[in-house]
Amino acid sequence: MRLITHYILIVLTGLLLGGCSISRYVPANESLYVGGSVKVVPDSAARTQVSGLEDQLEGLLRPYPNKTLFGFPYKVWLYYVIGEPKREKGFRSWFRKKLGEPPVYASQRVVVTNAQIMEAYLANSGYFRSTAEGKLVEKKNRTVEAQYTAYVKPRYFVNDINFVVHDSSEFSKNLLATKEKTFLRVNDPYRFDVIETERQRIDRALKTKGYYYFSPDYLIIEVDSTIGDHKVNLFLQPKLTTPQTALKQYYINDIYVYTDYDALTPDTLPTQARQRRGLYIVDQQNSFKSRIFDDAIGFQSGMRYNSEMHDISLSRLTNLRNFKFVKNRFELVTGADSALLNVYYYLTPLQKKSLRGELSGVTKSNNLAGTQLSLTWSNRNTFRGAEQLRISSNLGLDFQVGGGSRNLGNDFVRFNNQAELSFPRFLIPFFKYDPVANQALPKTVLTAAYETLRQKGLYTQTSARTQWGYVWQRNSEVEHSLTPFGINLIRPTNITEAFVDSIFNSRNPQDILRFIRITENRLILESLYTISYHPTPKPYTRHRFLLNGGINLAGNLAGLLVRNGDQESGVRGKILDIPYEQFARFDGEVRYYLDLTPKMRLANRFIGGLGIPYGNSLALPQFKQYFAGGSTGIRAFRARTLGPGTYHADSVTRAIFGNNSFGDIRLEVNTELRFDITSIIEGAAFVDAGNVWNYRYDINSFYPPETVFSKDFYKQVAIGGGLGLRLDFTYLVLRLDLATPFRKPWYTNPNRQEQRNPWVFDEINLRSKAWRQENLVLNIGIAYPF
């Protein structure tokens, strides 16, 4: 301990007093490299063409200088001050490797290399005959900076694009057909990286036509820059040295599948395999039904090779989640002029059964903390058809850790049991589905769950539900999910006398209505459909967007089977003496991302939700309603504290029910500027806006009339913003967002004793502890909010 304390004191003293002492550690005839800068000097005709070019060229400079803190290379100082370790695994060695950093010295050879790299980059970007030079400039305290100058000539642009063929063969016809979707565009600047991408695109297109042995290296693009006016003509053609095997279309012969492949064991002879529709399946343990490979592998004997079907087959086998490794190879069938390929799939299975346990902790913005214990048992091949069976149990505890006195209902105990069985195919009577072009096999998913939620001091709520649904995707961009049948029964039990007393002692008459709604049995018979569209961004684009949508219908079938209730009289239609819900819910989400620079991105999101209760329902069930606030929503407000409309629960209601504000309609907009600070640290500045509203008002509702969505909804929007810090460890992103309200819509509530301007900038007082506790909200999360 004394040794550790000694080194900590050294570090602190060095950081405080050693800012200028780094130079005495630098060896003679060496200087510490502190980075480089680039100055672009364009020709008069190129002045309008070099915007952002300095940043691009500076991004090419190597090596990277040592990390600094306020200009001080603290990691190098730590590396020097700890001294040369005497032992490879001692504390000093660990300290030097983990906290220190070897110095980066200046080198004239590196300057010359960087200048050559910049010249090559300029030429590849269309700035032909441009030059670059660099020099080392001495700074203070034995440090050196590299300064570069790039003399940039006018940029060349594409004038014409020509696909050249040498004959009228089938290959030539297919090559010419690829021009329709070329990445090369007239009047675009010449860029060598686009040409490389174009060659790869053509290679992929030809491989979908059966040209298995073709390669991008067999294509050449000649550039004619002699036509004048800084224009170039491009001529794309196959090389004359291209082998005939690359110009031939190939067809599938036999397909072999090894379900328990061991790389150390030679291939089992096909005579020891079972055959199904041209597939030879080597499965010595008889672990899998043959049908699963017939569905997953898109190739059939006699069909032409197609690289897309090649990728789809591998993707399907991987998505079965039964195999640790999926490998394949193609082998040319021997013969004088053979155009046949044998296909081999080598599958290494995962362990069939597994048991997994997780223990986690969580803190929330509503002053609750908790823990959760989860156990999951899995069977990856339940009926020998790659079916997935998962049975899980979860026990969770949430308890109040701050925010004042401990009120009723602030501690929760959750217990959940769930079983899910999925089949890698559609299970629909009298329906046959051919997934020939789908990226993944469709799934039929059967789910059953039973959950209890005990709100300590109030009541216990139980939920029993089951669903039968389907998931499928035509390609990697679009995924569909359909649940034609779902049933959910909710029952409250163990309602305490203290809960009842708190309700009848409340000054708010709406709390009694809220109590009645919470403590009644409910039945939901529903159908759901969702679709997500995540298009693959085009090469070199700065734009990306995603779309998600869904429809949830409940009670239609129940309304046909039994008589609906009468809302005016308060009598509700029932099934087995349980009121059933009737509603339609529509959801939509749009996300748009714009890369402003390589290190800066603008992220935007819009969320819209509409719930329409009808027939037997006055409002959506609470767990189907929307809420605002929280770490992934309007971050300046705690979860479930906003709305609906200008409503704001008083301290009595919050003491009884906690943060419990919901609505039938949701509108939310988020925008966030993300920028890199270091390789793993990212900053953000964000603004969030939105709210929730009710669809209608009724005398039996526990929300007042001002909570209903109207033409003046924009006057009831809550707005907040703040700053964020994200730590990107590649495998996860740790997020910290500190936000504060800009606009509080409840300030305009007509029932409020003192109405005032909802914009609250004038209230900001960082010195006030009370203001900070109420208005500064720290959100801690994993991954980005959107």
Q: Which residues of the chain have pLDDT under 50?
A: 1-10, 12-13, 15-20, 402-406
d(CA 591, CA 606): 7
Contact 294, 276 (CB under 8 A): yes
Q: Please write the tens of the pLDDT for every residue from 194-211.
A: 999 999 999 999 999 999
**DSSP string of 312-338?**
HHHHHHHHTS-EEEEEEEEEEPPSTT-
Paired strand residues for 331: 342
pTM (two decimals): 0.77
Token pair, residue 732, equals 């996860």
Contact 327, 334 (CB under 8 A): no
Contact 252, 343 (CB under 8 A): yes
**DSSP string of 619-683?**
S--GGGSB---STTS-TTS-TT-S-STT----HHHHHHH-S---BSEEEEEEEEEEEESSSSEEE
Q: Is the dihedral of CA 299, 302, 308, 310 positive or negative?
A: positive
3-state secondary structure of 460: strand
d(CA 729, CA 740): 27
Please report, for residues 73, 75, 78, 83, 509, the alpha-carbon distance to residue 94 in angstroms, rounded to integers and kept in the order given: 19, 14, 12, 12, 66
**DSSP string of 733-773?**
EEEEEEEEEEE-GGGG-TT-SS---SB-GGG--TT-HHHHH
d(CA 503, CA 482): 41
Half-sphere exposure of 262 (CA within 13 A, CB side): 6
Contact 452, 461 (CB under 8 A): yes
The residue type at 563 = R
What is the helix (H) or strand (E) element at residue 81, kind and residue range?
helix 74-81
Token pair, residue 580, equals 């059933």
- Short-list 769, 776, 765, 766, CA closest to 723: 776
d(CA 669, CA 549): 16
Three-class secondary structure assignment of 381-446: CCCCCCCEEEEEEEEEEEEECCCCCCCCCCCEEEEEEEEEEEECCCCCCCCCCCCCCCCCCCEEEE
Q: Where do we find the tokens 């939105």? A: 690
Please report, for residues 174, 191, 307, 539, the alpha-carbon distance to residue 196 in angstroms, rounded to integers and kept in the order given: 19, 9, 19, 12
Q: What local confidence, expressed as pLDDT, does residue 263 receive?
A: 52
d(CA 662, CA 627): 5
Please report, for residues 321, 322, 436, 469, 521, the alpha-carbon distance to residue 474 in angstroms, rounded to integers and kept in the order given: 19, 22, 10, 17, 40
Paired strand residues for 238: 219
Please report, for residues 495, 527, 555, 648, the alpha-carbon distance to residue 579 in angstroms, rounded to integers and kept in the order given: 19, 18, 10, 29
Token pair, residue 93, equals 């060695």
Token pair, residue 116, equals 């050559």
User: What region does 347 belong to: left with phi over 0, alpha with psi -120 to 50, or beta?
Assistant: beta
d(CA 349, CA 259): 7
Q: Please write the tens of the pLDDT for every residue from 548-580.
A: 999 999 988 776 667 665 555 555 678 888 888
